[in-house]
Amino acid sequence: MINISHDNVAERLMRYVQVDTQSDPAGTAHPTTDKQKDLSRLLYKELRGMGITDAETDEYGYVYATIKGNSSKPNIPAICFCSHVDTAPDCSGTNVKPIHHRYYKGEDIVLPDDNSQVLRLKDNPYLSQHINHGVITASGLTLLGADDKSGVAAIMEAALFFMQNPSVKHGDIKILFTPDEEVGKGTAKVNMQKLGASFGYTLDGGEAGSLEDETFSADAASIIIEGVIVHPGYAKGKLVNALKIAGAVLNALPANEWSPETTEGREGFVHPVAVNGIAEKATIQFIVRDFTVAGLQAHHDRLKKIAQEIVAEFPGATFKYEVQEQYRNMKEVLDKYPHVVTYAEEAIERAGLTVKKESIRGGTDGSRFSYIGMPCPNIFTGMQNIHSKLEWVGTKDMAKAAETIVHLAMIWEERS
């Protein structure tokens, strides 16, 4: 039985969310905002304070640390626990004032700095599982930042547990905190060699017990249309306007299916995200998503055929269809190492929870890590209503996430 204090992990979260670490999708530096390093430096100092002597933070805002193995078994793979320090650009992360509703009684929670922000039990049925436990919210003007500082807090609390309980046997445990996950650059400057882990787990998921081993596979696609340009005063029968063709292609997309707004579960989609151009030449950019590579290909074939049919109605016009790979479903990698996921299931059960396997309709740092040498499913932290002013997290879920980390490290030692 491993017990992590709800209060200690809550206190950690409250401390970390007060550091503004919003990332910037338009930023070109690494990290995209310098302030993310403020939290990285704090974490690095706290890890050193625990006695983790190799803890370091680099110019890009990553934090690396090793809890040295203490088992006599020689061949335990090094495993990594990873969370991101940045918060989403969708909602302010400046002056976050976290509130610990210590003994939540099931009431609707009115956030004090903006009374129109109300966390209602009927809209958030998961709150009912936290009655008589702690719930942490923001104050109404900002997000909370439990995404992903609840993961950071759980990893830090687990790290402290390992340092204080040397009788708990484990192999090398690697800790990694990353910047810029919310803007898709969380692995951009990571040093996998320095990290030195064989397998990893991101702590960046929702409800207690949830475990995600599957993400979308993702491509970007562009339809580049060339019209025929002639002086507009003398263009009768000659000019072909690329902008109008672009409009016709968009108009030919189905209204009731095949889009983010009409799909869920395991369905894929095609989503136009930008149009730009002039009468002579126009480009439509799409994102294309599916859980399988074959599914992605089917979406490309269908989209290309629509473009072909439309452009054919405009004699003289031509088009090109270009594809860029973005990321791939981590399951394609994880299926080669099934124990990475089954150990996590077992750890969640040892923490007293029921496993909920889920698929992510998006990508995670874990999908990228899985393709650069570190198979990496995603574990819950409890975070809810992320990227919004009504974001909240239950303290017992964060404690369970920390306990799951401890159990996982023990299971890797037992099985090696």
Select 112 or 362, whichever has its Cβ closest to Zn ion: 362
- CB of 181: closest distance to Zn ion in angstroms? 6
For residue 202, the SS3 value is strand
- CB of 183: closest distance to Zn ion in angstroms? 11
Quick one: which segment of 148-156, 160-168, 299-307, 397-405 binds Zn ion (CB under 5 A)? Answer: 148-156
Compute the C-alpha angle 366/390/109, nearest 5°.
135
Quick one: which segment of 38-46, 49-57, 145-153, 217-225 binds Zn ion (CB under 5 A)? Answer: 145-153
Quick one: which segment of 9-17, 139-147, 218-226, 250-258 binds Zn ion (CB under 5 A)? Answer: 139-147
- CB of 379: closest distance to Zn ion in angstroms? 12
**Alpha-carbon torsion (22, 25, 27, 28), positive or negative:** positive
Select 9 or 143, whichever has its Cβ closest to Zn ion: 143
> Is residue 214 a contact point for Zn ion (CB under 5 A)?
no
> Is residue 365 a contact point for Zn ion (CB under 5 A)?
no
Beta strand 109-110 pairing with 378-380? unpaired
- CB of 52: closest distance to Zn ion in angstroms? 24
- CB of 341: closest distance to Zn ion in angstroms? 20
- CB of 147: closest distance to Zn ion in angstroms? 4
Quote the CA–CA distance of 274 and 287 in Å, as a whole number.
Answer: 10
Active site residue 86: yes
Select 178 or 241, whichever has its Cβ closest to Zn ion: 178
Quote the CA–CA distance of 311 and 59 in Å, as a whole number.
Answer: 49
CB 158 within 8 A of CB 47: no
Residues 173-212 that bind Zn ion (CB under 5 A): 204
Select 62 or 162, whichever has its Cβ closest to Zn ion: 62
What size, in residues, is the chain?
Answer: 416
Select 142 or 198, whichever has its Cβ closest to Zn ion: 142
Instruction: Report which residue type is found at 281.
Output: K
Q: Which residues have a Cβ under 8 Å from the Cβ of 46 and sit 6 or more positions away?
A: 156
In the set 86, 157, 391, 403, the catalytic residue is 86
Number of residues that bind Zn ion (CB under 5 A): 3
Select 147 or 226, whichever has its Cβ closest to Zn ion: 147
Quick one: which segment of 40-48, 143-151, 227-235, 299-307 binds Zn ion (CB under 5 A)? Answer: 143-151
Per DSSP (E only), the strands in 46-150 are 56-57, 63-67, 79-84, 99-101, 109-110, 118-119, 135-137
Per DSSP (E only), the strands in 102-216 are 109-110, 118-119, 135-137, 173-178, 199-205, 210-215
- CB of 148: closest distance to Zn ion in angstroms? 4
Quick one: which segment of 144-152, 205-213, 229-237, 374-382 binds Zn ion (CB under 5 A)? Answer: 144-152
- CB of 357: closest distance to Zn ion in angstroms? 19
In the set 147, 180, 181, 391, the catalytic residue is 181
Q: What is the largest CA-CA distance in the chain?
A: 87
The residue with its CB nearest to Zn ion is: 148
Select 334 or 383, whichever has its Cβ closest to Zn ion: 383
> Is residue 86 a contact point for Zn ion (CB under 5 A)?
no
Q: In what order do the strands lie in the sheet with 281-290?
A: 269-277, 281-290, 217-226, 318-327
One DSSP character per residue, 157-175 reads HHHHHHHH-TTS----EEE
Active site residue 403: no
Select 87 or 198, whichever has its Cβ closest to Zn ion: 87
> Is residue 147 a contact point for Zn ion (CB under 5 A)?
yes
Residue listed under structure tokens 């894929």: 268
Q: Which residues have a Cβ under 8 Å from the Cβ of 378 and sit 6 or more positions away?
A: 201, 202, 203, 204, 205, 211, 212, 213, 360, 364, 366
Which whole-number Å values give the CA distances from 126 to 5, 47, 140, in the listed order?
21, 33, 20
Q: How many CA atoms lie within 13 A of 24 on its CB side?
A: 12
> Is residue 148 a contact point for Zn ion (CB under 5 A)?
yes
- Residues noted as catalytic: 86, 181
Binding residues (CB under 5 A) for Zn ion: these are: 147-148, 204
